[in-house]
Structure 1
Amino acid sequence: MAAALSRAAVRSQVTVPLQFPDGFRATAEVLTFNGLADGKEHLLLALGEWEQALLRHTDPAPLVRLHSECLTGDVFGSERCDCGPQLREGVEQIAAAGGFLLYLRQEGRGIGLYSKLDAYALQDAGLDTYEANLALGHGEDERDYTAAAQMLSALGADSIRLLTNNPDKTAQLGALGIQVTEQVPTGVHLSSTNHRYLAAKRDRTAHTLNLPDFA
């Protein structure tokens, strides 16, 4: 049975033109919300023909990505993770299909920026990304997607296609009353510096990643 969600409401909406370092451009309607369960300043970027996608009562449902904030990857282009390329890919795919990118303030799988950097130091000493979180006294992944479900419900997006390799996002949304009609895999943004990170996601939390050996 789906958990009962408290209601959230759209607080504001503003048009923001986007441009990525490779020159890709898109226009987003950026929405903020009142009444989110965790009180954080999450954003929803409505992209492409999102209003038409909401009005459709048959497939395809709106394409949605839950993107957890990653200052190092999204802003500074860190290659220790694949967050920056996933953000860029998500905006392009959603703009083409019509839907929403939720930018969630859940740095470091919910443990915060400083703790994430502390975890990096432990990874440099040999731990994987999940072991490092546990060594710091955190959970492997502390993210909760209740606020994301509230944001989608506030727009009437109760049936979606989810752009993710992470089965936990699909499971949590389903338990919160958001029907995921299809889990659409993201690309594999592999480099010599993030191979171990991606392999840990595949092996520890069943991310749908097909990784080649990296020389």
Structure 2
Amino acid sequence: MVARARLPLDHLPPSQMVSFRDLVSGEDHVALVVGAFGGRPPLIRLHSECLTGDVFGSLKCDCGPQLHEALRLLGAEGGGVLLYLRQEGRGIGLANKLRAYQLQDRGLDTVEANARLGFADDERDYAMAAAMLRALGIDRVRVLTNNPAKVAGLEAAGIEVAERVAHHMPANPHNADYIATKRAKSGHLP
């Protein structure tokens, strides 16, 4: 844990932002701790950075809507944790993500584009997320995700997943194939 500060947010219970530094990669990740959890496992969201979707509102993915809906759900629960992980482009980085977008514009799907660039379908690692949760005193969670790799990654790192909570966003004409590919080739759950 590097730093912690109160962070008032629109339409959310009192929140704190906690920064963590990955000693291997040097990347800074943040945990947004929203409200209070009570005695039950908190609802959490592992959200990998997506500059194009989270900040600029890209329609090529469902990241921005997933982020905003996760925050809404954490608020509705009265509390939870959003881990914002600096793993842009499923871990391949921004420049490579843009290269993958170019390949997708030429007809490759997201998995094929990553492979053409020499990457796995998903290069992310969730060990840091588990370390962040442990540092926050959390070892049992409910995970807001459609990605079974996130559940498996947390469990492999010693975090008990009490429940997987589905997190579906409506598709649009620009991301329908992307979402279908995540289900068909990456094992995302319906």
Using structure 2 for the length normalisation, give the TM-score.
0.94
Alpha-carbon shift at residue 38 of structure 1 (Å): 3.4
Q: Distance in 2 between matches of 1:192 and 1:34?
A: 37
Alpha-carbon shift at residue 35 of structure 1 (Å): 5.7
Partner letter of residue 65 of structure 2?
Answer: P
The equivalent position to 1:198 in structure 2, one of 179, 183, 186, is 179
Partner of 2:169: 188
Partner of 1:96: 76
Partner of 1:129: 110
Q: CA RMSD in A?
A: 1.4
Alpha-carbon shift at residue 77 of structure 1 (Å): 0.3
Q: Deviations over 1:7-66 (max 9, x none)?
A: xxx3221122334xxxxx32431001256553310000001224x3xxx2xxx3100000
The equivalent position to 1:49 in structure 2, one of 30, 36, 57, is 36
1:11 aligned onto 2:7:
no
Aligned residues: 188
> Contact (CA 8 Å) 1:82, 1:190: kept in 2 or not?
yes
Partner letter of residue 30 of structure 1?
Answer: M
Query: Which moves more between the two structures, 10-19 or 152-161?
Result: 10-19
Which one has a bigger Cα radius of gyration?
Answer: 1
Q: Map residues 73-84 of structure 1 onto 2, 5 A cutoff.
A: 73-84=53-64
Describe the SS at the equivalent of 2:41. Answer: coil
Gaps of 5+ in 2: none
Alpha-carbon shift at residue 175 of structure 1 (Å): 0.6
Partner of 1:68: 48
1:146 aligned onto 2:119:
no
Q: Distance in 2 between matches of 1:165 and 1:36?
A: 29
Partner letter of residue 113 of structure 1?
Answer: L
Q: Distance in 1 between matches of 2:97 and 2:116?
A: 12
1:156 aligned onto 2:137:
yes
Q: Distance in 1 between matches of 2:105 and 2:135?
A: 42
Query: Which moves more between the two structures, 189-198 or 65-74?
Result: 189-198
Partner of 1:4: none
Gaps of 5+ in 1: 1-9, 20-24, 210-215
The equivalent position to 2:156 in structure 1, one of 166, 175, 189, is 175
Q: Distance in 1 between matches of 2:5 and 2:181?
A: 38
Partner of 1:213: none
